[in-house]
Structure 1
Amino acid sequence: MDLISIIESINEILWGPIMLMLLLGTGVLFTVKLRFIQLRRLKDTVKETFRKNEGIEADEQGMSSFQALATAIAAQVGTGNLAGVATAIGAGGPGAVFWMWISGVFGMGTIFAEAVISQVHTEKVGSQVTGGPAYYIKNGLGSKALAAFFAVAIVLALGFMGNMVQSNSISEAMYTAFEIPPIATGLVIAILVGLIVIGGMKRIAHFTSRVVPVMAVFYLLGALVIMITHYQEIIPSIQLIFHSAFNPTAATGGVVGVTVREVFRYGIARGLFSNEAGMGSTPHAHAVAKVKHPAQQGLVGIFGVLFDTGIVCTMTALVIIVTGSYTTDLIGIELTQHGFYEGFGTFGGAFIAVSMFFFALSTIISWYFFAEANIRYLFSTRYLKIFQALVLVFVVVGTTLEVDVVWELADMFNGLMIIPNLIALLGMVSLVVKILNDYENNYEKNQPSEYEKSYE
C-alpha cells in the first residue's frame, strides 16, 4: 500500500460519521445550552459586527473586532467556498446544500463558544498578545500534552500543508485562465505574503480588513449577475434544494442513485469544513479582538459563519444549480468553473481565477497568522523568522507539485487538531454559559461584570 492510500484510509476514519456527528453534536449542544443564541440574538450579531471601532488600532496588544472578524473570514472564505460547495453538490446533489445550511446554523453555536473561550485565555508571548485553542486547552482544560498536540497539528495542517494547497489552487487557476507559469505565480504569492507577515499583527489586520470586503463584494456581485440573468430558475432551484435533501432521486444527472445518508454526509462535511466551526482555527483571530466583553466577539464570530455558509456558499451553490451545471459529471472546482462559464461565457474563467487568487491569498495570510500563534506557544519567539521563511518556501513549492498527497495530509492534520479542540470545548460548556449569562445579566444592564475588559 502506497503512502497516499495509507493517508486516505486514515482520513476515511478521521472524517467518518463519528467525527461529523461529534462536530454537529457539539454545535447542537451549545445551541441548546446558549438558548439558540444565533437566532434570538441575530439582530445583536449584526449590530456588534458593524459597530464602530473608533480609536481602536491594531498593534501588538490586538486588533479591532472587525479586523479580527475579517481575519477569521479570510480563512473561512477560501477555496472551500468554490471547490467545497461544488464537491458537496457533485457528490450528493442539490439537497446537500440544505444540510450545509443546517451545519452552518449549529456551527454558529460552536463558533460562539470558541470565540468567547479564546478571549478569556490569552497570553503575552514576547511583546505580542496571542491566543487560541492551545492556550485555552492548557489553561482552561489543564492539559499541556493536548495543547502541544493541537499546536503541532495546526502548524502542519495550515502553516505548511494547507498553504501549499492554497498556492497550488491559485497557480492552477492563473495558468488555466492566463497561461501564467506556476513558478512565477508562486514567487509573486511568496513576495506578497512575505511583505504582509513581516509587518506582524498590525499589517495582517490592515490587509484582511481591506481585502476581504473587496474580494467578497467582487465575488458576490459576479454571482448576483448570474442570478439576475437566470432569475426564472431561482425559485425552482431553491425548491429543488429542499426537495432533494430528503428525496435525492429528484436530482438528475451525475448524482442519480445517491441516498439521503450520502446527501446528509456531503452537506454536513463540506459545510463544517468551509465555515471551520469546531476546527480550532478562527479562535486565534477572535482571541486578540479588542472588545469590552468576550460575548461581544462571540456574537461577531456567529456573523462569520452566517456570511461564509449562509451567503457565500449559498451563492456558489445557486450559480451551479440555476445554470444547470449540477447535471454534469463534473465535481470540485471544475463544477464551479462550469457554472460561471455558463453564466459569463469565456469571461467566467478569468472571473474564477481572480476570485481564487484573492480567496486563497487571504487564506494563506490568515492561516500563517493562526500557525504563528502556535509556533509562539511551542517555542516562544525563538524560531519565528525561520518559520516565516519556511512558509514562503512551502508556498512556492506548492505551486509546482501534484498536491494529491498534500491535500490528504492537510485533511489528516485538520482532523487531528479537531479532536483536542472539541475535548476542550465540551469540557468548558459551563464556562461559556457563565460568560453569556454575565453578558446578558450584568454587562448589558451596566451592572458590575466579571468578564469586562479594558484596553486603555
Structure 2
Amino acid sequence: MLETINSVIAAISDVLYQPWFVPLFLVVSGIYFTFRCRFIQIRLFKDACKVIMEKPESEGSISSFGALMISTASRVGTGNIIGVSTAICLGGPGAIFWMWVTALLGGATAFIESTLAQIYKKRAPDGSCYGGPAYYMRDALGKRWMGVIFSVLIILIYAVGYNMLAAYNLQSTFSVFKFYHPVITPAFIGVILAFLFGVMVLGGAKRLASITEILVPFMGILYVLVSLLIIFLNIRNVPGMFASIFRNAFDFQSVMGGFSGSCIMYGVKRGLYSNEAGMGSAPNAAATASVSHPAKQGLVQMLSVFIDTLLICTATAFMCLSTSVVPTEEIAGAVYVQNAIASTLGTAGPVFLAVAMMLFAFTTLLGNYSYCEGCLEFILHRSIKKHELLLFRLFATAIVFIGAIANAGLVWDTADMLQGMIVVVNVPTILILGGTAIRCLNDYVASRKRGENPVFHAKNIGIKEETDFWK
C-alpha cells in the first residue's frame, strides 16, 4: 500500500517538473517581474537593507524584521543543508548555478507576492494584521474558492510535507554516529522533536516571532562562519570548484538526455524548496508586519530569498565542493555534508552539523506551522474553536513524529509534489494582479525621491477594493 502511494506521488511530481510546467512558471514569472520592476533586486537592494531595521508602525505589533524572521525560519532550514547536498549528489555541481538563477529571478517574484499580501491584509480584533495569497485571491480576484484551494495546499505542504521532511532530515544527521539504530533512533528523536514542537505551537504568532528573531540570525551566522573556515582551509580547491559548477551547469547534452535528473531540474526543485519564491508562503508572514507602505515588506521578503539561497545555500555548496569528498548518490543528504566537514575539521564536524541541524530543523518546524492556522480559519470562514485548534495542533505534532520515522523517498517526493502544485495556483494569480504591486512600488519610489517616508493610501494607485489598513 505504502509503495503504491509513493509511486503515485512520484509520478505526479515527475509531471509537475517537466520543463514546460513548474520550471516554466517560475522562470517566466521571474523574468517578467524582474523587467516590470526594473531589476528591483539590484536597484533597491540598499533600500531593502535599510527597511529591515524599521520599527513597527504600532506598538506591540510584529516588525518587518520579525515577519522576515518568521518566513526565514521556514526558508532557512534543512533545505539549506540537506537540500543542497541532494541537489549536488543527484544533479551534479551545476545544480548550484541553477539555484542561484531561481533565487535572483525569484527575488522579484517574492516582492510582488509579499507586497500584494500587505495591500490586502486584514485587521484582527486585537488590532494586529494577517493575510496572504488566499486573501488577495478572494478580495482582488473575487475567487474565494481559489483561496480555499490555496489554503488547503499551504496546510498540506507546511504542516505535512515540509514538516515531515524537516523531521526526517534532522534524524538522518545522526546516522553517521555509532549509537544510531535505524528503527529506535528515528523514533526517539521523533518523540523529542514532536514534544518540543507541541509545546511551542501553543504560544501563537508573536511568540514564534520572538523565538525566531533570536535563533534564526544566530544559527545562520554561526553556520556561515564555519562554512567560510572550511572553504579557507581548502582554498586550493576553490578554482576547480567553480570550474565544476559552471562546466556541469552548461552541459546541455547531458541535460537533454534526461531532464528529470539533470542539474537544472534539481536546481529548480531544491532552489524552490529552500527559498519558496512564487509559492505564496512567505506572504502569509509578510502580511503580519506593521509597516507604513506595502512595498517596504515586499523589499524585506525579497531580501529573505537572497539570505537563504545566495548566502546560506551557497555556503553549504562551497563548503562541500571545496573539500576532496566526491558527491555520489549513495551519500546524498546529511552524510555528504558530514563527510565534507569531517574531512577538514575531523570528528568535531559531524557533531557540529547535528547541533546546527537541530536548530535549523526546529525553527523550520515553527516557521512552517506559523502559516497554517490562518489558512485553516480562511477555509472554515470563521474563527477556529478551541477544541478544533487543539485537534489541529495535535495533528501537526503527530506529523512531526511520522516524518522522523518515514523513508526518504516518500518525504522528498511528497514535498516536491505539493510545492509544485502550489506554484501552479499562486503564480498565475500574481501574474494577473502584479500590476497592482508594481504601481505600489512606483508610489514607494516616488515618495523616496521626494525625501519622504513612504506612507501608502490605496486610492493613490487606483485600488477600488476595500482595504482594512490603507484607506
| TM > 0.5 | yes
Q: Which stretch shifts more, 350-359 or 400-409?
A: 400-409
Paired amino acid for 1:193: F
Asked if residue 40 in structure 1 is aligned to residue 40 in structure 2, the reply is no
Distance change >3 Å, CA 99–CA 431, structure 1 → 2: same
Deviation, structure 1 residue 405: 2.6
User: Aligned equivalents of 1:262 and 1:175: distance in 2?
Assistant: 27
Alignment check: 8 A CA contact 2:84 2:317 kept: yes
Match of residue 463 from structure 2: none
Shift of 1:82: 1.0
CA displacement 1:163-212 (0-9 Å, x = unmatched): 12212222232464474733332232233223322111110000110000
**Could you say which residue in structure 1 is the equivalent of 2:464?**
none
Q: How far apart, CA to CA, are the structure 2 residues paired with 1:259 and 1:203?
A: 43
Aligned residue in 1 for 2:300:
300
Question: What amino acid maps onto 2:207 in structure 1?
Answer: R
Structure 2 counterpart SS, 1:290: coil
Q: Please name the residue that 1:420 is paired with.
A: 425
Query: Secondary structure of the residue that 1:53 maps to in structure 2?
Result: coil
Q: Which residue of 1 aligns with 2:103?
A: 104
Residues 1:349 and 2:379 are matched in the alignment: no
* Match status 1:240 vs 2:247: no
* More deviation, 402-411/174-183: 174-183
The aligned residue for residue 310 of structure 2 is 310
The 1:94/1:408 distance shift into structure 2, 3 A limit, reads closer
Cα deviation digits, residues 307-357 of structure 1 (max 9, x gap): 111111111111121103245453233322221122222222112211111
CA distance 1:280–1:100, change in 2 (3 Å) = same
Map of 1:46-445 to 2, 5 A cutoff?
A: 46-49=49-52, 51-53=53-55, 58=60, 62-124=61-123, 127=126, 129-174=129-174, 176-177=176-177, 179=179, 181-247=185-251, 262-329=262-329, 330-379=331-380, 380-382=383-385, 383-402=388-407, 404-442=409-447, 445=450
Question: How much does 1:288 deviate?
Answer: 0.7
Counterpart CA distance in 1 for 2:355 and 2:289 is 30
Distance apart, 1:370 and its partner CA: 0.6
2:403 alignment partner AA? G
User: What is residue 465 of structure 2 aligned with on the other side?
Assistant: none
Distance 1:322 1:56, change over 3 A: farther
> How many angstroms apart in 1 are the aligned matches of 2:261 and 2:442?
38
CA distance in 2, matches of 1:170, 1:218: 18
Deviation at 1:235, TM superposition (A): 3.3
Please tell me whether the aligned partners of residues 57 and 291 of structure 2 are also in contact (alpha carbons under 8 angstroms): no
Cα pair 2:198 2:397 within 8 Å, conserved: yes
1:281–1:54 CA distance, 2 compared to 1 (3 A) = closer
1 CA distance for matches of 2:193 and 2:178? Answer: 16
Number of aligned positions between the proteins: 446
CA contact (8 A) 2:14 2:260 kept: no
| 2:81 partner SS | helix
Evaluate the alpha carbon distance shift between residue 225 and residue 43 of structure 1 in structure 2; reply closer, same or farther with a 3 A threshold: same
Contact 1:215–1:359, Cα closer than 8 Å, also in 2: yes
The CA distance in 2 between the partners of 1:32 and 1:408, in whole Å, is 33
1:21 aligns with 2:24: yes
1:9 to 3, 11, 29: 11
Give the drift of 1:53: 2.4
Equivalent position amino acid for 2:66 in 1: Q
Q: CA RMSD in A?
A: 2.7
What secondary structure sits across from 1:323 in the alignment?
coil
Indicate if the aligned counterparts of 2:341 and 2:350 stay in contact, CA closer than 8 A. yes
- Structure 1 residues 188 and 92, CA, compared in 2 at 3 Å: closer, same or farther? closer
In 2: Cα distance, 1:448 partner to 1:161 partner: 38
Q: Is the 8 A contact 2:56 2:64 kept in 1?
A: no
User: Which letter maps to 2:364?
Assistant: T
**Which stretch shifts more, 387-396 or 403-412?**
403-412
Offset of residue 96 of structure 1: 2.0
Cα distance in 1 between the residues matched to 2:373 and 2:455: 35
> Cα 1:278–1:197, aligned 2, differ >3 Å: closer, same or farther?
same
Kindly indicate whether the alpha-carbon contact (under 8 Å) linking 1:247 and 1:260 is maintained by their aligned counterparts in 2: no
User: Compared with structure 1, are the counterparts of its residues 374 and 320 closer, same or farther at alpha carbon in structure 2 (3 Å cutoff)?
Assistant: same
Aligned partners of 2:259 and 2:138: how far apart in 1?
42
Q: Which runs of 5+ in 2 are unaligned?
A: 461-467
SS of the residue corresponding to residue 370 of structure 2 reads: helix
Q: 1:355 to 1:122 in 2, by over 3 A?
A: same
SS in 1 for 2:262: helix
- CA–CA separation in structure 2 for the residues paired with 1:215 and 1:184: 24
Distance 1:148 1:388 in 2: 20
